[in-house]
Amino acid sequence: MNLKEIIPLLAAVIGLTPVILKWLNDRSTEAANRRLIQQAKEQVEFWQVWLLAQREVTTDERFALLKNEIAKRLDNLLEKNIEQENQEKIKKHEGESHSFFQKVFLLYLPHTTSGWIFHTLFYITVSFTLMLLLGLSIPPDNINAAPSWEYFKSELSMNITILLFFVIIAFILQRFANRIERHYKQKKKVPEK
């Protein structure tokens, strides 16, 4: 595989990064929820079978005590499930604050359509800039030549100007995406009437 085939493939993968991140996050959240539900079902089934078995071998007084104990355990299980659901709702509505690194490289999932647009444009611009950096290090008279730092330095002033232009565009897109995220969080903090 040569460089001409790798660059478009790499640009497409980098452009799809926000979509892949959202899919992975949704998948892991769903898997955790399914595990919790499965564990709760297994516990309920176990206590149900255990209680039926105890009914056959214990006295009525002891069975009543066991029933009360099982009822308490099932109530605790229900409380844990309710608590887990509440924590998920709080996470969804409030959102977590993002670290500096996440804000700089937009490594968080946007909550609005315009956020997704700016995230995607940011990643496309960054991937294009990286590919351009690679392309500017290949001499135009020999396309099959390997990238050369020496050639890049020979045209340094022009190359820096071109790269700086795209870095500024990426910076502007990043600022817009972060501003949209801040506005979204501020709207969520306003108490609903």
Residue 54 is encoded by which pair of tokens?
């105890």
Q: What is the DSSP string of 51-62?
A: HHHHHHHS-HHH
Q: Calculate mean pLDDT across residues 160-168.
A: 93
Residue 149 is encoded by which pair of tokens?
């730092």
Residue 139 is encoded by which pair of tokens?
């001499």
Predicted TM-score of the model (pTM): 0.53
CB atoms under 10 Å from CB of 109, counted, come to: 18
**What whole-number distance in Å separates Cα of residue 182 and Cα of residue 44?**
43
CA distances to 53, 88, 112 from 2, rounded to whole Å, are 69, 46, 38
Crossing angle for the helix pair 113-135 and 3-15, nearest 10 degrees? Answer: 160
**What whole-number distance in Å separates Cα of residue 22 and Cα of residue 27?**
8
Does 88 score more than 90 pLDDT? no
Higher pLDDT pick, 32 / 172: 172
Span 99-149, pLDDT tens digits: 888 888 888 888 888 888 999 999 999 998 988 888 888 888 887 888 888
Q: Calculate mean pLDDT across residues 79-95.
A: 71
Q: Check: CB of residue 177 under 8 Å from CB of residue 122.
A: yes
Strands (E), the chain: none
Max CA pair span of the chain? 95
